[in-house]
Amino acid sequence: MPNGPLKIILIGVGRYDYAEVELGGSIQIVGLNNTGKTTLINTLQFLYVDDLRTMHFGSYTLEQTLAYYFPGQYSYALFECLGATGRGVIGWRGQSKASGGDPERFCCLGPYDADDYFDAKGQVREPRDVVARLALKEFRLMKSAQEHRELLLPSAGGDGKGWGLVALRAAKAFRRFRESLRD
């Protein structure tokens, strides 16, 4: 099985309270207008585009887009992926209105487990509780576009950072790859 995304999980993102979509083969997205088809497809930018400023969401500004996708601290866009080191999750979490910051991105090893994000009553866990649970899975915040890009690409020199989700011969070709997603 080749490296790449296996599943998209949306928690409180856009029009979705919860969605889990398997990406193992070809999929068809069918639905009435204004039900979230484009939201789901555009979510892939959060996986593959390393720099928020280069994302493209039609006529919406970046601020409008982030407010839609991540309305608060309980909003998660998660991507379970198969990488060079096995299964892992790349995620984005919204911030509280009080903090007003951009969503934070993170990664951890192991498959997606709903129990990491939801309590026994089915409520989304507090962010600090999610981080505590993911700490057991080598949770790591990615604070820069460069860290995100390094995670997507194959490891350089055997450093073990790269998951190899985007197989490019030269890391400098990533910009062209990123631009192709806009088109």
Helix (H, G, I), strand (E, B) or coil at 174: helix
β partners of residue 11: 18, 76
* Cα gap 154→174, rounded to integer Å: 12
Give yes or no for a contact between 19 and 115, defined as CB atoms under 8 angstroms apart. no
pLDDT in tens, 78-123: 999 999 889 999 999 999 776 778 899 999 999 999 999 999 999 9
Higher pLDDT, residue 177 or 182: 177
Q: How far is CA 41 from the centre of its chain?
A: 12
- What pTM value is reported for the model? 0.91
Averaged pLDDT for residues 40-56: 86
Give the C-alpha distances (Å, rounded to integers) separating 108 from 3, 19, 81, 157, 164.
16, 20, 10, 21, 15
Nearest CA to 10 out of 109, 79, 60, 110 is that of 79
- pLDDT band for position 51 (cuts 50, 70, 90): confident
pLDDT at residue 169, rounded to an integer: 65
